[in-house]
Chains A and B, each alone.
Chain A
């Protein structure tokens, strides 16, 4: 009797065990299925990222807390060939909040060395605007002279572009060729002190002429440490109508035939130098703007004047980080120095000769988070009547302590 009972108990527990095994197996299978679904290569990927920089600026006159950037970036990839990128630029400085569309464009990889891109994109005129402006990439808290507001060159514009890169032996070559809406010339009707300046922020096109531009980059060394780039940009920034239409005194002033030719050279050299136990990073860009002569009207003294409309801007910078040092703290420090200058046309009301020296000590918390301590000396000759803030020029020195982070 006892053995019978034991046998029955065994039988029942055996069935239970089998059932349990079955259900575990089923569970494992369903987990496997779920993993397979998750791991299945999907066609579409979204990524939300961006960067920010904030801190304080102390000049001789005041101390200000600023948020120089908060830029969310959206990336969307579809399949193997299609990418959309979009960036919003938000800035909160001197109690003013500004929001702009940095870029929003679609790229399509046509073949090996050919990508077609359309929409609003960063203009590859030199390299600073396209490659080094994000606050976690830029080694300094500020931009070099000649970039940003009232800068010499365009940063972003609407249009179409072809670009790509290919190999040439053990060197590399890359190119970009684009047509965009282009700038408008400031005719002095709104801001007389800026007559003759190019305005790149030009959402409502004032003419049918597009601007065209190109950049060719050469990486002569097989380890890609050096890149030299040449850029050119041509635009007809005037409108076909006189801005003074209806004003019998000045109706004859017309900027239809004005042309603008911009050129730039850029250089980048980044290399680990073992004897120096660290990374040397050298960057530079020289930009030149040539706008054909035109006659402008000065409402202040009702005179007419003209000038050789030539501007130039350049920066050279160098940074060193002892990244190979054993010391965990030391290896995150970086020292950096930058010289930049911006010359605007003599004879114009915005004539100026600005220069700027910036020295910096950075501490890298991660590959995209950095604390920047900068000391900056600005000099300006300001022979025109156009006022500039200490942020972009002016005279005097400034200390900046900022934190920049990519996310």
Chain B
């Protein structure tokens, strides 16, 4: 139980510090972000991200849907990122 307490406290403290840090910068909502920004922010959270040239348009369609379902990305993010990857490959 003690460990849980420490873990939560540390996680909380860390996120608090980061939030304060982050609020110093102007934060943009998804609507105002480009596909390439959303790609760089979201696609390397779990694994290193493949370059757009790694796959063709049809493959990106499959991967985008797979990642949207697996990672619970919003529809808007997923669509913008897919368009970016398909334009840049």
Which secondary structure characterizes the binding site on chain A?
Answer: strand
What residue of chain A has the Cβ atom nearest to residue B45's Cβ?
A270
In the complex with contacts A83-B66, A137-B47, A227-B45, A221-B58 CB distance below 8 A = no
Name A77's contact: one of B18, B27, B62, B70 (CB within 8 Å): B62
Residue positions of A touching B, CB distance < 8 A: 42, 45-47, 75-77, 83, 85, 107, 109, 112-113, 115, 117, 130-132, 134, 136-137, 163-167, 169-170, 172, 174-176, 217, 220-228, 265, 267-270, 279, 282, 284, 286, 288, 312, 314, 316, 341, 364, 367-368
10 other A-B residue contacts (CB within 8 Å) besides A77-B61, A117-B69, A221-B18:
A75-B62, A113-B75, A170-B27, A170-B28, A172-B74, A223-B22, A270-B44, A286-B8, A367-B50, A368-B47
Q: Quick one: closest A residue to B55, CB to CB?
A: A47
In the complex the two chains form, what is the Cα distance from A312 to B8 in whole Å? Answer: 14
A134 to B65, CA, bound (A): 18
Look across to chain B and name the residue whose beta carbon is closest to the beta carbon of A406. B47
Q: Chain B residues with Cβ under 8 A from A136's Cβ?
A: 47
Return A139 CB to nearest CB of chain B, in Å.
10
* B29: nearest chain-A partner, CB-CB: A170
Min C-beta distance of B36 to chain A, whole Å: 14
**Given A131-B70, A165-B73, A269-B14: A225 and B65 within 8 A (CB)?**
no
Contact of A265 among B7, B19, B29 (CB under 8 A): B7
- Asked whether, in the complex, the Cβ of B18 is within 8 Å of the Cβ of A222, the reply is no
Q: In the complex, what residue of chain A is closest to B12 when comparing beta carbons?
A: A228
Instruction: Offer 9 A-B interface pairs, CB within 8 angstroms, sorted by A.
Output: A75-B63, A77-B66, A115-B68, A132-B46, A136-B47, A286-B8, A314-B3, A367-B50, A368-B47
